[in-house]
Amino acid sequence: MAYSAGEVNQPPRSILRAGDAEGPNNGWFMAMPVVAGDMMGVKIVTFYPGNTELGLHTHMAMIELLRRSTGEPLALMDGRLITEMRTAAVSAVAFAALAPARPVAPASFGILGSGVQARAHIQALKLVWPGMGDIRVWSRNPANGQRLAAETGARAVAIAEAAAADVVLTATSSTQPVLMGRWLAPDALVLSVGATGADLRELDDEAMLGSSVVADSRDSAERESGDVRLSGARVEAEIGEILSGKTAAPRGGRVVFKSVGMAIEDLAAAKLVWQARKSQS
């Protein structure tokens, strides 16, 4: 809400390609600074899709937290877990704001992807969605999909069945659309958190243009999301505008929540970690 109200100083993230390899082994290197409230922070994050084949995390990060009034560095944190948790937490907040406006209370959850974010989203959404029942998992790697299903009480299914759920999460590193609009239920809520990049997509044109699009940041989504840029879809609202009551949540029809991730989310999470650590000392 503070971001959408213009109370956060958050410039566009700087994005560089590592340029040391071809294909999925060519990683991304990003810097995300922000000033808000009594704190400042910066996250340095890398994304290497090819790390999966090496048994390494695809996302790795460090966050520096500083006191705004003096510029004093307060902490240096491993940002990988913070990124994992805050991304799922943002989706949970979006679900809590958008789901009550759905014509029917959602009961089924379809997941496209079987990595870190798939697991984190199940954990986070259960905190705000007591009615979550039928969890469906599809993965490009069937063994990973079966493993996630076994660990979480879900069902490993074909992609079209996962996509037909009431709520659909896309959490892949795909460069081409994997979620087709023709598979979606008429009033589906789609949480799209993967494939962040101006030329990368998870959703096809039908999914994007046939839905009301809500984003964490309108500016960032229109600049950095291939799903938005390449489809020509219009971001109708920011989730902060809906949470503050400035804009009503869409009623009826499909809704896509596009999350590209923001530095203010990292700063808010890092501040919580810092405060918890201080309370223990």
Q: Mean pLDDT of all residues in the chain?
A: 95
How many residues comprise the chain?
Answer: 281
The residue ranking higher by pLDDT, 239 or 55, is: 239
Contacts of 206 (CB under 8 A, 6+ apart): 180, 181, 182
Rounded to an integer, what distance in angstroms lies between the CA atom of residue 174 and that of residue 171?
A: 9
How many Cα atoms are found within 13 Å in the side-chain-facing hemisphere of 222? 11
pLDDT confidence of 164, banded at 50, 70, 90? very high
Task: Phi first, then psi: give them for residue 214, nearest 5 degrees.
Answer: -115, 140
Query: Alpha helix (H) ranges present in 46-188?
Result: 79-98, 116-126, 142-152, 159-163
Give pLDDT tens digits for 236-274. Answer: 999 999 999 999 999 999 999 999 999 999 999 999 999
Tens digit of pLDDT for each residue in 23-39?
878 898 999 999 999 99
- In angstroms, the Cα distances linking 146 to 93, 141, 151, 172, 173 are 28, 9, 9, 16, 19
How far apart CA 84 and CA 82 sit, in angstroms, is 5
| pLDDT exceeds 90 at position 196 | no
List, in order of start, the domains of the chain with CATH numbers: 14-81+265-280 (3.30.1780.10), 83-262 (3.40.50.720)
Q: What whole-number distance in Å separates Cα of residue 91 and Cα of residue 126?
A: 11
46 φ, ψ to 5°? -120, 150
The amino acid that residue 123 corresponds to is Q
Residue 22 scores a pLDDT above 90 = no
By the 8 A CB rule, do 17 and 27 touch?
Answer: yes
Q: In angstroms, rounded to a whole number, what is the distance separating the alpha carbons of residues 221 and 217? A: 6
The amino acid at 44: I
> Comparing 68-72, 192-196, 260-264, which segment has the lowest mean pLDDT?
192-196
Residue 105, amino acid: A
DSSP single-letter state for residue 12: P
Say if residues 34 and 9 touch (Cβ distance below 8 Å).
Answer: yes
Contact 50, 23 (CB under 8 A): yes
Predicted local confidence at residue 23, as pLDDT: 83
Distance CA(180)–CA(209), nearest Å, equals: 11
pLDDT at 232 over 90: yes
Q: Which range among 60-69, 102-111, 195-204, 261-270 shows the weakest confidence by mean pLDDT?
A: 195-204
